[in-house]
Chains A and B, each alone.
Chain A
Amino acid sequence: MRTLKFLLQKELLQIVRDPSILKILFIMPMIQLLIMPLAADYEIKNINLGVVDQDHTQYSQKLVNKIISSGYFKLKDYSPTFHAGMHAIESDKTDLILEIPPHFERDLIQENKAPLLVSVDAINGVKAGLGGAYIQGIIQEYNQDIRDQWLQNPRFNEQPAIEVTFSNWYNPNMNYRVFMVPGILVMLLTIIGSSFAANNIVREKEMGTIEQINVSPIKKWQFILGKLIPFWILAFGVLTFGLIIARVVYGIVPVGHYLTIYVFASFYLLAILGFGLLLSTFAQTQQQSMLVSFFVTMIFNLLSGLFTPIESMPHWAQILTRFNPIAYFIEVMRMVMLKGSGLADIKTQILALLGFAVFFNGWAILNYSKRSG
């Protein structure tokens, strides 16, 4: 135990000595938490709309006004022909064309139906999909408005109609940040856990200091714990810092208990630090360990459910996410923050992470050899 105490002392001293580590540790989360939640927004606004109105009637005007007043679209082009409208799409001026054919109003009134054409620039798939859906919704609503106008009487619809009302549980205002900030916090902890500890050991290899450690009677587990604990503590510092930002800047107060988050984070950090340590036993240079940890955490992040829901991934990818510690943590963070889940609700996730921790750390200790050859 005495040896471990000296190792920890030395590690902490070195961390404090290195001004860049502390700076990175606290500036990185601050910037990420302040920028990412505001920028990474799924709602699509400001879709550039081009209108080809060949009808020029009251009805067509009303439709166009309704679309623009929805707030999602910006009228950027008003062309007399479809050809000209197409030109605007080609020159990237607009994303979407709504063509209103001649006699739109007349057909609608006389024949009870009128065609419309929506053409979408699908280079940006998300924009095209959502833009198309929004405009369709608006047109349907417009259609309903006209019907209501015409069918003043009878009071009750002759045709049965199903009306849907939504109620958003746990996040009633669909506040996007409440959902995103905890996830980004997890991403940050992951980066710190997986690459800082790994780099630290590899640095000892590069500097040759590990030779001196290896010829000493110090035990493997002492050395590895000596590396693990300081970064474990640092990561908690960053987590606390991040939770403060979430509360002060975004006003996110977890419905559940902070303690639940910390308990889970302690298991999570064990797993992710173990992964970093494992990496360091293989890598010979800091460059190698950096690149591999970057690669792996990127895949972990993309498969974590942070940016795209796991449920919409293909089946094989869903299976992969079960072997992804980050996915569990993001799930738990959201459960605790938004739903108020307690320790009993996240039992499975804790067990899973315990498994990861044993697996990564065990492998790291087995693979760390004080002698080569």
Chain B
Amino acid sequence: MQAIVVDNIVMKYKVKKSVTDALKGISFAVEKGEIFGIIGPDGAGKTSLFRILTTLLLADSGNASVDGFDVIKDYKEIRNRVGYMPGKFSLYQDLTIQENLEFFASLFGTSIEENYDLVKEIYVQIEPFKTRRAGQLSGGMKQKLALCCALIHKPSVLFLDEPTTGVDAVSRKEFWEMLHRLKIQGITILVSTPYMDEAGLCDRVALMQKGTLLSVNTPKGIVGEFNKPLWAIKATEMFRLLNEVKADPSVESCYPFGQLHHVVFKSSSDGKEKLEQIAQKGIFKEVEISSIEPNIEDCFMALMKV
């Protein structure tokens, strides 16, 4: 049985007379025990999708089920067996770490002791501060506490809405390590993130843009879908270079990527020569051209153009 099934979900927000399509008929399925990533920029519709799946929001049309339960008919069952960590920190800031955890455990009719194994690894990191109020914690600690609170009732499916947004690089890495350990315990994890580099850490990802799914695949599979050679170019005047490469009719796309520009040509042959020609014509200095392997972000950029 699949842990999450989403079938043609449509969600519209009406503000006065204008209508925003947050989700335009989305379908995908998540296997049990998978880490499934929803990757997309702000405004892609990630949070709306999460709120529908956690029974906080009613979709306009379409069906969805979590752990075999329908999000509309059996919402009470779902509330018993999912953990949800909203994008915004939403624990009681005026309660201490321990009080928050105890409160959320008791809401689900359990106790910290009963499920301590599950949160132990995360909780020990914040335990020294357990009498500190949640509002006074650092961002990374808040994140860990929120994860503990979402896990304390031993959910079978965990929804994490942008858990790493605004968290430093070290904490992000730690956070993903924690997710992998939870996966081993058999918990299905649906996680959303705006960071493309985190896609590779998921078992499968869905690339999302403006309420539609561009692609659903394993990170490798998505990269494999990128079938054209990709070139990187670097020179002294990067901005002029970008414009001139873009102006060339044989170029399909060119976009800045860190210190390099990534370039894709319409036809797949002799890209290097064409780039050299452009660089010579524009009299650029210190030109470096290399062939590179595409990553998720390249795929996302390519899929967005389609």
List chain A positions with a Cβ less than 8 A from chain B.
2-3, 6, 10, 13-14, 17-18, 207-218, 370-373
Q: How far is the CB of A216 from chain B (nearest CB, A)?
A: 4
Complex alpha-carbon distance, A213 and B103, angstroms: 10
A216-B91 in contact (CB<8A): no
Q: Once the chains bind, are A372 and B56 in contact (CB under 8 Å)?
A: yes
Is B123 close to A, CB under 8 A? no
Give chain B's interface secondary structure class: loop
Q: How far is the CB of A156 from chain B (nearest CB, A)?
A: 82
Provided the pairs A211-B84, A215-B82 are in contact, do residues A17 and B94 lie with their beta carbons within 8 angstroms? yes
Name 18 extra pairs, CB < 8 A, besides A13-B99, A210-B90, A212-B91: A3-B109, A6-B106, A10-B103, A14-B92, A14-B94, A14-B95, A209-B90, A211-B56, A211-B84, A212-B149, A213-B107, A215-B55, A215-B84, A216-B79, A217-B76, A218-B107, A373-B58, A373-B59
Which residue on B lies nearest to A210, using beta carbons? B90
Q: Tell me if B287 is interfacial: C-beta within 8 Å of chain A.
A: no
B80 within 8 A of partner (CB): yes
B residues 186-232 with Cβ under 8 Å of A?
Answer: none
Give the residues in chain A near B88, CB-CB below 8 Å: 208
B76 — which chain A residues lie within 8 A by C-beta?
217
Given A10-B95, A14-B95, A211-B86, answer yes or no on A3-B106 (Cβ-Cβ < 8 Å): yes
Chain A residues with Cβ below 8 Å from B75 are: 371
B304 within 8 A of A: no
Q: How many A-B residue pairs have CB under 8 A?
A: 75
Task: For A18, give the chain B residue with the smallest CB separation.
Answer: B94
Selected A-B contacts with CB under 8 Å, 23 pairs? A2-B106, A3-B107, A6-B106, A6-B107, A10-B92, A10-B103, A13-B99, A14-B95, A18-B94, A208-B88, A211-B90, A212-B84, A212-B86, A212-B90, A214-B56, A215-B84, A216-B79, A370-B55, A371-B55, A371-B56, A371-B58, A373-B58, A373-B59
Over the window 70-82 of chain B, the binary record of Cβ atoms lying under 8 Å from chain A Cβ atoms (1 yes, 0 no) is 0000011001101
* Cβ-defined contact, B109 with A2, below 8 A: yes
- Flag if A217 contacts B79 (CB, 8 Å): yes
Q: Kindly state the separation between the CA atoms of A6 and B92 in the bound complex, as whole angstroms.
A: 14
Contact of A208 with B89 at beta-carbon distance under 8 Å, contacts A215-B56, A215-B82, A373-B58 already known: yes
* Residue with the greatest number of chain A CB neighbours at <10 A, chosen from B58, B84, B92, B104: B92
* Min C-beta distance of B194 to chain A, whole Å: 19
B166 → chain A closest CB, angstroms: 15
Decide: B108 and A207 in contact? CB cutoff 8 A.
Answer: no
Decide: A370 and B106 in contact? CB cutoff 8 A: no
Please tell me if the beta carbons of A372 and B109 are within 8 angstroms of each other in the complex: no
A372 vs B56: C-alpha distance in the bound complex, in angstroms?
Answer: 6
Across the interface, do A217 and B108 meet the contact criterion of CB distance under 8 Å? yes
Instruction: Contact check, B109 vs A215: say whether CB atoms are below 8 A apart.
Output: no
CB neighbours (8 Å) of A18 from chain B are 94
8 A Cβ contacts from B40-87 to A: 54-60, 75-76, 79-80, 82, 84, 86
